[in-house]
Structure 1
Amino acid sequence: MPGTNGIELLHSLRRLPDYADTPVIMLTATCDRKHVDDAFLEGATDYITKPFDFLELRSRMHTAEALMRERIKTRKSMESVRALQDELDFNMQFSFEDPLTIDNVDRLLRYVEFDNYIGQLSRGRMFKSRAVAIKLYDASFLYDVSTSSDFRSTITDLARAIVKCAKGKDFMLSYRGSGLFLAVEHASAPHEAFVSEKRLNQIFNSILGQRGVPSTQRALIGEPVPMRSLSKSWAFAALNRAVQSAEARERNILCKLDEDPADDLGCAPEQFDHMRRRIYEKVLFELFRDETYLGSK
């Protein structure tokens, strides 16, 4: 090892993930305290000076190996504890209206960051920008009958579906709470839809299926609203109109179901069957909510 001593080599080894827990025994003729200190500070498992006895060396190698195994076992146990803590944090209850933080989804901004983004954009002329709202159909009922973890996962799945469906487009997305997403698209073709609702729901339910979710969900897309604004208030007014458009679509569908469940809602047969089951579930939930854990949610 020209130009490299044992301690420098150990320093390099310990920074390689595959050698983080590998036993390292220093065999050296150097016995001054500084070298000993440096060796252990760099992660040496043991330190043996020459001349050494081979039987003692073998014994200390076995000891180092046993120590390594115990440390790996302890580390795995600690990782399990951390994973459990993460799950408990993940499952922590939240309100339906809360704008949940969704991690590891491209082009997704948190609530405040999205507002700041819109505020910054409003200083320029947003002639080619438009707002679009995407709403999880009957999200309030899904929230009522799901665990916090399951609802959060469904919202995350919808976010991933939107981003995947809008691949190649210039947009920003934000979850606003209550099962609702807002997207601002900077469209080069303003008459082209942001995403196809049919395609979005195909992707959405494919993601749900990969996660083992047995039921079908549906996302509704509101009408795009131009962001032709010269002020912050006008920009946010456009966002509100986009939200109102998606909410109006949901209200119309729910009203049709209340009036005539057999009415054509423009959805696939399996989606209609699912919505019909949801009506029955909703009635049962309203009848027995005080007798279940959902009543305290």
Structure 2
Amino acid sequence: MRILAVDDDPFILELLPMFSLQAGFPDMSTAPSGAAALEVLETSEVPFDCLLLDINMPEMDGIELCSRVRAMPAYRKTPIIMLTAMKEKDYIDRAFEAGATDYASKPIDMAELRAGLRMAQELNVARKSNQPAENENAPQSPSHQSGTPSPLSEGVMIEGIKNLVDGRALENYLRQLSRAGLGGSQIFAVKIHQIDAIHSRASAAEFLYALTEVIDAISNALGATRHLMSYIGDGNFIIVSNKPNLETSGELESEIQNTLDEKNSEYDNGDPLDIEVSIGNPIRPNTSEAQMIEETFKRAIARAEARVAIRQNEPRPVNIRSPRSL
């Protein structure tokens, strides 16, 4: 695995290759600044498999660098680990919003660094084995997708959508909050009804289009509330919101559903693509139990599925589709 470490501290740049070698990853290059890192990435004939970025650097900090790296087609899915002493929630939020995959602390903890690099290696292996013919320089938007959708159980990452991260990054985000003892977040799930019927009928482009419609509706409903979300498969979205107060999800659910109804979404042949969603009541993550994050996700999904069962026994207002302009 080819690794690029970026830090403005010469001592750290001297230590990191030695630590990486001890962790079983001998192929590490270094760069002393964000500008130098971008030059290395742009001129390297073989893409790097993992990036380690310091946050607190002059001129271009690691968060801006992360965002600029994510804009490069070859690095849209490359694992990026922020290596920093910055433990305030604002830095953690901004790093993951910019596209970070994980967040490791300084002073460097050997076990933590080894775990992060192994995670990066696992992600690279999974990505290459699941999509052996993937062209990472091709556009990733739904309009450029065709053919059969990915299996329904698989998570889907749609590039270029703000606040959307993959499932592993969302788990790592919550783990970092837990390690820092930072509360104030809440987790809830959004479930698409009859997702199997949509998936079986839709092309890959149509399925990604349906997911994007839901993502847009969720983002619009949450407004300025800081949040991250991930589509983890089977019609399930997990959302981590920084809204301070736990509230029942009924009002948010209605707002999202109304937005979806107003979109008048269609399959490519013009047939209506009526999307209905349910939301489970939010859960406050236990910041003292980082290992319980996966279980919390399951609980959030179970609450959304219970809400689906309730709504399926209720009459749903007819969606009167507005005429489209010619």
TM range (shorter): 0.5 to 0.7
* Pairwise CA distance, 1:153: 0.8
Q: TM-score, normalised by structure 1?
A: 0.54
* Pairwise CA distance, 1:194: 8.9
Q: Which residue identity does 2:286 align to in structure 1? A: R
Greater relative CO (CA pairs within 8 A, separation 6+): 1
Q: Which residue of 1 aligns with 2:303?
A: 245
Q: Which residue of 1 aligns with 2:167?
A: 111
State how many pairs are aligned. 182
Among 205, 208, 218, which residue is 2:261 paired with? 205
Cα separation, 2, equivalents of 1:121 and 1:195 = 27
Cα separation, 1, equivalents of 2:251 and 2:286 = 20
Q: Which residue of 2 aligns with 1:188?
A: 244
Cα separation, 2, equivalents of 1:119 and 1:85 = 29
Consecutive unaligned residues in structure 1, runs of 5 or more: 1-81, 257-264, 272-297
Q: Which residue of 2 aligns with 1:267?
A: 316
**Contact conserved, 2:246 with 2:282, CA < 8 A, in 1?**
no
Aligned partner of residue 135 in structure 1, secondary structure? strand
Cα separation, 2, equivalents of 1:176 and 1:234 = 17
Q: Which residue identity does 1:131 align to in structure 2? A: I
Q: Which residue of 2 aligns with 1:218?
A: 276
Q: Which residue identity does 1:167 align to in structure 2? A: G
- The alignment status of 1:162 with 2:218, answered yes or no, reads yes
* Pairwise CA distance, 1:239: 1.8
Q: TM-score, normalised by structure 2?
A: 0.49
Cα separation, 1, equivalents of 2:206 and 2:173 = 30
* Pairwise CA distance, 1:224: 0.8
Q: Percent of aligned positions with the same letter in both sequences?
A: 19
Aligned partner of residue 196 in structure 1, secondary structure? helix
Bigger helix share = 1
Q: Which residue of 2 aligns with 1:260?
A: none
Q: How do 1:99-178 residues align onto structure 2 when only pairs under 5 Å count? A: 99-178=155-234
* Pairwise CA distance, 1:246: 0.8
Cα separation, 1, equivalents of 2:186 and 2:140 = 41
Q: Which residue of 2 aligns with 1:91?
A: 146
Q: Which residue of 2 aligns with 1:79?
A: none
Distance 1:99 1:125, change over 3 A: same
Q: Which residue identity does 1:216 align to in structure 2? A: D
Distance 1:86 1:152, change over 3 A: closer
Cα separation, 2, equivalents of 1:267 and 1:218 = 10
Cα separation, 1, equivalents of 2:155 and 2:140 = 22
Cα separation, 1, equivalents of 2:143 and 2:160 = 19
**Contact conserved, 1:185 with 1:194, CA < 8 A, in 2?**
no
- After the TM superposition, which parts of structure 1 deviate over 4 Å for at least 4 consecutive aligned residues? 82-89, 192-195, 210-213
Q: Deviations over 1:2-41 (max 9, x none)?
A: xxxxxxxxxxxxxxxxxxxxxxxxxxxxxxxxxxxxxxxx
Q: Deviations over 1:210-269 (max 9, x none)?
A: 896624221111111111330212333222110111122224445x4xxxxxxxx15313
